[in-house]
């Protein structure tokens, strides 16, 4: 039996080289120092590798270029050349499906992007596009590495170009886990979904110091670009959570609802919730009186599998709901007016929110269900001057351009241009249904009567009584629940209790739908 001592010199040298390799790889895995790790944790943040471990299935991570180091000189960089160059890249699985990931390591150069750092990101993005698999970025970086100058900026340009190339091809998810300024904020804005963690993550183009120097305004990092600001005010953030573990678990859930790429359908799951389950409670959830509010979330919960759904932009433009859920185990995107917020009207922000969601669903082969209870567009000088025409047209364009299966249901009110924009039959909905509580019209009866019968009301001895009679007449002639069905503007008026069953059967029929758009480079949507 040959022992180590008896082995040829070359073999011993090989073992030494392997031992050296393991030592180097361990050094790369540990990071710069224990002190840097402690500083990261003192801020309530996990390390890059800990985050990757939470995101991916256990033991599935395969790292790419862990030994990469920068080649820059000057400003002391030649004396500081840590492995990974501040970003961990690779692939693994989430629920058994391949996912590519890169994670900034804030312990190294503050996660700032240099030439080698950017090249690693470029490579993993190219691999994700070529493999047709989702890309998740775990962002915790201080922007461009100033010591490397314009080379760092060019690195961002390569990332932006690849974000755009991958748009609508593979799902791109940005998870903000630290301060991300300047160029580090633009890449997430180009991706499909942005997650943030309260108190520890911020996004802004210019930080508080620059704002103070230029405008004199005093503001904190969180006040300028924290998770709540972007989740409620700017709409940049789709999801906000209190801690990193919850945030990354929700990223995993979102990935379970998305296909790997635009050539595949979203994954299906076995469903124990009966497809023909009756929704009798819906009759009590939605008041017949169009002026009474109710919570559309409860309607969605009653229709979808096991009452589960993932709401996108939950706290921004709350007068419209956008959510991903399942019907009989198959993923569906839901757009619904919310009567509890601004009576469910469409305004600038709601139109933008829904338009982007429709485009995402269409890009990734997710059927669209639209639940209508909309009294119209929000009137006002601010809305008109802010471009409600232009922004409302974004939603109209998105629906008209979508080729996935599209089903709409009028629960109650559907008035004016807002009815047309919300995926009416006339703009291409495959199937349109209505509940017997529906009111489809150009406008509400009171407003319509005031326009049509203005002179009669003004000349009447009792204007109030005349107005009431004219309102009743208008409703009976043009706003009864079957007016639209009689003219073929809806395919059927259904019992609300049958909504889930009707939707599942309709989606099953539409599963093989194929629709082509005219040959063109791309459209020119309203901006």
| Dihedral angle sign, alpha carbons of residues 384, 314, 51, 128 | negative
Q: Active site residue: 86, 143, 178, 182, which one?
A: 182
pLDDT greater at residue 133 or residue 107: 133
What is the band of 70 on the pLDDT scale with cuts at 50, 70, 90?
Answer: confident
Q: What is the pLDDT of residue 239?
A: 98
Q: Active site residue: 418, 448, 449, 484, which one?
A: 418
pLDDT digits (tens, 9 = 90+) for 300-350: 999 999 999 999 999 999 999 999 999 999 999 999 999 999 999 999 999
- pLDDT for 121 beyond 50: yes
Question: Which residues, 6+ apart, have CB-to-CB distance to 96 below 8 Å?
Answer: 57
Q: Is 182 a catalytic residue?
A: yes
Q: What is the pLDDT of residue 494?
A: 97
What DSSP state is assigned to residue 230?
A: I
- Helix 244-256 with 48-55: angle, nearest 10 deg: 40
Q: Active site residue: 329, 417, 428, 450, which one?
A: 417
**Mean pLDDT score of the chain, rounded to an integer?**
90
Of 145-149, 151-155, 181-185, the least confident: 145-149
Q: Is 333 a catalytic residue?
A: no
What is the band of 73 on the pLDDT scale with cuts at 50, 70, 90?
Answer: low
Q: What is the pLDDT of residue 12?
A: 64
Pairing mode of beta strands 492-493, 87-94:
unpaired
Q: Is 183 a catalytic residue?
A: yes
pLDDT digits (tens, 9 = 90+) for 469-498: 777 777 777 677 788 888 888 999 999 999
Q: Is 112 a catalytic residue?
A: no
Q: What is the pLDDT of residue 449?
A: 65
- 3-class secondary structure, 258: coil
Q: Active site residue: 111, 141, 143, 183, which one?
A: 183
pLDDT digits (tens, 9 = 90+) for 438-452: 988 877 667 766 677
pLDDT digits (tens, 9 = 90+) for 240-258: 999 999 999 999 999 999 9
Distances (CA, A) of 42 to 38, 46, 203, 221, 315: 6, 9, 21, 18, 29
Domains delineated in the chain: 31-256 (3.90.226.10), 282-442+481-512 (3.90.226.10), 445-478 (no CATH)
- pLDDT for 181 beyond 90: no
Q: What is the pLDDT of residue 4?
A: 45
Q: What's the CA gap between 314 and 10, in Å, rounded?
A: 63
Total Cβ atoms within 10 A of residue 134: 25
Q: What is the pLDDT of residue 2?
A: 42
Strand partners, 138: 103, 175
Q: What's the CA gap between 522 and 527, in Å, rounded?
A: 14
Q: What's the CA gap between 50 and 195, in Å, rounded?
A: 17
Q: What is the pLDDT of residue 301?
A: 98
Degrees, nearest 5: CA angle 121-125-127: 120
Q: What's the CA gap between 188 and 173, in Å, rounded?
A: 8
């Amino acid at each position: 039996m040959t022992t180590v001592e008896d082995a040829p010199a070359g073999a011993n040298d090989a073992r030494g080289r392997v031992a050296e390799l393991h030592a180097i790889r361990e050094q790369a895995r540990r990071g710069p120092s224990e002190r840097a790790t402690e500083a990261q944790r003192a801020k309530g943040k996990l390390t890059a590798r800990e985050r990757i471990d939470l995101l991916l299935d256990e033991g599935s991570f395969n790292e790419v270029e862990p030994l990469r180091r920068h080649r820059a000189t000057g400003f002391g960089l030649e004396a500081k050349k840590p492995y990974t160059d501040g970003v961990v890249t690779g692939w693994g699985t989430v629920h058994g499906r391949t996912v590519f990931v890169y994670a900034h390591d804030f312990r190294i150069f503050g996660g700032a992007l240099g030439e080698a750092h950017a090249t690693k990101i470029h490579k993993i993005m190219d691999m994700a596009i070529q493999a047709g698999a989702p890309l998740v970025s775990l962002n915790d970086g201080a922007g461009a590495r100033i010591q490397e100058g314009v080379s760092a900026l060019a690195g961002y340009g390569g990332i932006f170009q690849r974000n755009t190339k991958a748009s609508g091809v593979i799902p791109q998810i940005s998870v903000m886990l630290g301060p991300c300024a300047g160029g580090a904020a633009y890449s997430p804005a180009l991706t499909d979904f942005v997650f943030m963690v309260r108190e520890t993550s911020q996004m802004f183009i210019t930080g508080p110091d620059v704002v103070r120097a230029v405008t004199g305004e005093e503001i904190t990092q969180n006040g300028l670009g924290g998770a709540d600001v972007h989740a409620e005010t700017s709409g940049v953030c789709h999801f906000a959570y209190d801690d990193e573990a919850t945030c990354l678990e929700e990223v995993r859930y979102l990935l379970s609802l998305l296909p790997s790429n635009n050539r595949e359908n979203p994954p299906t799951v076995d469903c124990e919730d009966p497809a023909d389950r009756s929704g009798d409670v819906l009759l009590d959830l939605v008041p017949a009186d169009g002026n009474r509010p109710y919570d559309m979330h409860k309607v969605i919960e009653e229709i979808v599998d096991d009452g589960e759904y993932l709401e996108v932009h939950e706290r921004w433009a709350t007068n419209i709901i956008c959510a991903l859920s399942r019907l009989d185990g198959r993923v569906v995107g839901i757009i619904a007016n919310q009567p509890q917020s601004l009576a469910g009207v469409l305004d600038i922000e709601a139109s933008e929110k829904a338009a982007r969601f429709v485009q995402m669903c269409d890009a990734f082969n997710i059927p669209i269900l639209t639940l209508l209870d909309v009294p119209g567009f929000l009137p006002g000088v601010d809305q008109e001057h802010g471009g409600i025409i232009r922004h409302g047209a974004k939603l109209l364009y998105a629906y008209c351009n979508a080729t996935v299966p599209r089903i709409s249901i009028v629960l109650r009110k559907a008035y004016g241009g807002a009815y047309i924009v919300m995926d009416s039959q006339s703009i291409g909905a495959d199937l349109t249904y209505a509940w017997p509580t529906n009111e489809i019209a150009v406008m509400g009866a009171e407003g319509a009567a005031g326009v049509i019968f203005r002179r009669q009301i003004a000349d009447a001895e009792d204007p109030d009584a005349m107005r009431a009679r004219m309102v009743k007449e208008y409703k009976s002639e043009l706003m009864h629940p079957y007016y639209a069905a009689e003219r073929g503007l809806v395919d059927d008026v259904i019992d609300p209790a049958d909504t889930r069953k009707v939707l599942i059967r309709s989606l099953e029929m539409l599963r093989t739908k194929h629709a082509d758009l005219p040959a063109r480079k791309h459209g020119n949507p309203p901006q």
